[in-house]
């Protein structure tokens, strides 16, 4: 009787640990999915929170990135030489980041394999987390380098104009978020219906 009780208490003690490990793998998989989804976003950006908005500028096929760069330069009085240089910088960054997103998809798949395995391998989950962190850091560095390269091509006045656009855009986004939060609060915790 004592042995059965000990086995049950050991099993009961291990259950929370397994739940935490499973949740950890889920968090890793969710983070991977979030990074992938974020990297698929669209928009302009030359700054903002870390390199997130910069990442959006360099996302997508080279033709898409070239159009976004052209749009960013509209109204700045950019010369043809500036436009050509910036197009080259953004397209090279887009190609590098696409390769990194492809690697990230592989890490996401690996995370799903760890999560769905009959036995959770905590060491493999930690190794994957470290790989994903290194991947995000590498992508962030590549975006920063591209943003610095673009900034070197632009004049201080052109950079100031882009900064003003970004402030205006941020204000619009913050207003939109406030309205959504207000709407969310008015419904007593319900999510707004599409």
Encode pLDDT of 28-47 as tens digits: 433 334 333 334 333 333 33
pLDDT value, residue 160: 92
Taking the model in full, what pTM does it have? Answer: 0.60
**Maximum separation of any 2 CA atoms in the chain, in Å:** 86
pLDDT value, residue 28: 40
Residue 77 φ then ψ, to 5°: 70, 30
pLDDT value, residue 55: 57
| C-alpha span between 157 and 184 (Å, rounded) | 40
For residue 55, give the nearest of 65, 45, 66 by alpha carbon: 45
The percentage of residues in the chain with a pLDDT greater than 70, rounded to a whole number, is: 66
Could you tell me the residue ranges of all domains in the chain?
Answer: 2-154
The percentage of residues in the chain with a pLDDT greater than 90, rounded to a whole number, is: 30
Instruction: Please give the torsion angle defined by the CA atoms of residues 182, 187, 191 and 193, in that order, rounded to the nearest 10 degrees.
Output: -100
pLDDT value, residue 193: 54
pLDDT value, residue 72: 84
Encode pLDDT of 51-74 as tens digits: 445 556 677 777 788 788 888 888
């Amino acid at each position: 009787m004592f042995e059965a009780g000990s086995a049950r208490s050991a099993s009961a003690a291990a259950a929370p640990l397994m739940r935490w490990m499973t949740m950890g793998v889920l968090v890793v998989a969710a983070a991977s999915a979030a990074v992938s989804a974020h990297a698929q976003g669209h928009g302009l950006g030359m700054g903002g929170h870390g390199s997130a908005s910069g990442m959006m500028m360099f996302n997508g096929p080279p033709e898409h990135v070239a159009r976004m760069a052209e749009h960013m330069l509209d109204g700045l009085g950019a010369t043809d030489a500036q436009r050509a240089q910036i197009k080259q910088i953004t397209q090279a960054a887009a190609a590098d980041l696409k390769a990194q997103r492809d690697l990230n998809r592989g890490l996401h798949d690996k995370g799903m394999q760890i999560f769905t395995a009959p036995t959770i391998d905590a060491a493999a989950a930690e190794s994957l987390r470290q790989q994903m962190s290194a991947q995000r850091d590498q992508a962030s560095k590549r975006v920063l380098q591209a943003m610095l390269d673009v900034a070197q091509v632009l004049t201080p006045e052109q950079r100031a104009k882009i900064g003003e656009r970004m402030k205006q855009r941020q204000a619009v986004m913050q207003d939109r978020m406030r309205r959504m939060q207000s709407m969310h609060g008015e419904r007593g915790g319900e999510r707004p219906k599409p």
